[in-house]
Structure 1
Amino acid sequence: MSGIRALTLLVEDPSAAAAALRDAAGWEIEADFGSFASLVAPGSVPLWLNAPADGEATSQGIVLHMICEDVDTAFEHAVAHGAEAVREPQDMDFGERSACVRVAALPGVTVDFSRPLP
């Protein structure tokens, strides 16, 4: 059996997207070569950002679900670092606390901070 090694998003400017996610979510930039960047977060698979090939579309309609201990603090940090609030922190009817933001450098991608409710 095989598992997920990494998740790749196609974005116009991988360097700008990596910097925006580093600032908004506190991830570490592992590598940045301009047309490719890699970010890591503790306990997670790497997120790779690639520039699209000629004629290839960028990623759209993607939600990155991030597990975090304190959804409210993660949301406030992201917004304070330039992310756009999409949904304020709230307890969801499916048993999770969740909040969503968008980062301008990642059009078409929503970041969801969440954790299971006790």
Structure 2
Amino acid sequence: MPEDRTIVPGFALHVADAVLEPGELDPAQIVAGEPRVSEVVLSESEDGRVARGIWEMTPGVVTDTEADEVFVVVSGRATVEFADGTVLEVGPGDVAVLSEGAQTRWTVHETLRKVYQATV
């Protein structure tokens, strides 16, 4: 990924080696533990509605309201529980799809790193 965010026709990045920037969790989202999040946005649409990136969370439990998202887990393990009772167990190599507005509870068992595309 170009460091200066210039437009390039394409690039490749080894996900495990990507340097992520610390992010903020709203304390109201934290249910248990002391989870930390970090992320790097790899690209965004001109209107800012579509983002592609790498996201990571350390062990803990948080709640979230989802965007339309597809992601692939690169490392770690988590349980994602939906308000309707649906439960996803995700780990390396798993792909998942989330729907905008879904209320979730993420229990990260091992630091989770995922590659995502989200639309807001």
Q: Kindly indicate which of the two structures has a greater share of residues assigned to strand.
A: 2
TM-score (ref. length: structure 1) = 0.24
TM-score, normalised relative to structure 2: 0.24
Higher normalized helix content (fraction of residues): 1
